[in-house]
Structure 1
Amino acid sequence: MPIDLRQVAAISGMSGLYRIVKPTRTGVIVESLADNPSRLVAQARHRMSLLDEISIYTTDEETTVPLADVFDRIHQKYSGELPLNDKPSNEELKSFMADVLPEYDEDRVYVSDMKKLATWYTIVHKYVGFTEQASEEATSESGEESDNNETEDKA
């Protein structure tokens, strides 16, 4: 059963992405999206960001682009395989970002954000997959809420 970005979270201080399994009284049970998935309880002290609530700053002060839209652009442009090597340079990341989202704000989107974008896209592509329906639903529901949740994840 494919999952969408409303069920995928990044947890501050922990590498990788996590699928939300179910809530508990003290937090939520999450499962890592990895070759050997493990489950753990993310408590209230953990800062979690759902991927469908994250967006990227653009040069238009009033506009951000939801992460789901950026993932769709990457998927359409590269068919799943990123044009980056294992350890891309800062210039390679900036070039990749400009290719995918030419209107991104160079002053507010940092290289660390670009690294997360590439890493997260690779994980989502491998473990979640892209179905047109899931990405359309994530895009349509995140568009209104995303303005307050830019790429300020300080992991």
Structure 2
Amino acid sequence: MNLRGIVAVSGRPGLFKLVGQNKGGYVLESLDAQKLKIVANISNTKLASLEDITIYGEDEDLKLIDVLANIDAKKATAPDAKADNNVLRSFFIEVAPSHDQEKVYASDMKKILTWYHLIKDMPLFTEAAPGTEEEGAKGDLEVKPKATPKAKPTNAKAPTAKSAPAKKASMTSKKGV
């Protein structure tokens, strides 16, 4: 699953694709049918990449990517985000059995299911993330040796070394007198 470049923006519903960056902020495109483009101000907008989001777990935090993969495996039983809280809770026990039930609220589950329904049909959702073993197993990834950087030509002439006059070797040695 390659969710690189897919972000959640604080204060805005839905998910966005990071298109670029300018001096005013990040250029984002919504993933819904409207394809709305916005510029999110760098100083007062928080972006969260879906690759970096974790869910509270009992022992250790769960990665959102793993939970989305589990939801995709059970997509026949995935409820709508507007379902009853008890239905959401029982579904999350199936797809993320080690999540912390006291810290993960129903609103979090609704948000995750909304995100899943937005990205489930996207090609990024089904392709392997860059740098994973799945990508290497397909043979798509070729290992190429790193090219050495070429020296930039300069217009300045290299300083020439002037030879200093050689010191004359003394034939007399001064040993103890």
1:53 maps to 52
Deviation readout 1:48-90 (Å, 9 max, x if unpaired): 1111110111111xx1111111111111222xx5531462011
- Choose the corresponding residue for 1:8, options 1, 6, 30: 6
1:153 maps to none
Deviates more, 1:127-136 or 1:16-25: 127-136
Q: Matched residue pairs, number?
A: 131
Partners of 1:10 and 1:50 within 8 A in 2: yes
Partners of 1:72 and 1:135 within 8 A in 2: no
Considering only aligned residues, what root-mean-square deviation do their CA atoms show, in Å?
A: 2.0
Partners of 1:34 and 1:127 within 8 A in 2: no
Deviation readout 1:81-106 (Å, 9 max, x if unpaired): 55314620110110111010111101
Partners of 1:51 and 1:67 within 8 A in 2: yes
Specify which structure has the bigger relative contact order, considering alpha-carbon pairs within 8 angstroms and separated by 6 or more residues: 1
1:123 maps to 118
Structure 2 unaligned runs (5+)?
133-177
Q: Distance in 1 between matches of 2:54 and 2:125?
A: 18
Structure 1 unaligned runs (5+)?
138-155
- What TM-score does the superposition give when structure 2 sets the normalisation length? 0.68
- Choose the corresponding residue for 2:18, options 12, 17, 20: 20
1:77 maps to 74
Deviation readout 1:12-34 (Å, 9 max, x if unpaired): 11111000001111211000001
Higher helix proportion (structure 1 or 2) = 1
Q: Higher Cα Rg: structure 1 or 2?
A: 2
2:37 maps to 39
* 2:88 aligned with 1:93: yes
Distance 1:82 1:134, change over 3 A: farther
Deviates more, 1:11-20 or 1:119-128: 119-128
Partners of 2:3 and 2:50 within 8 A in 1: yes
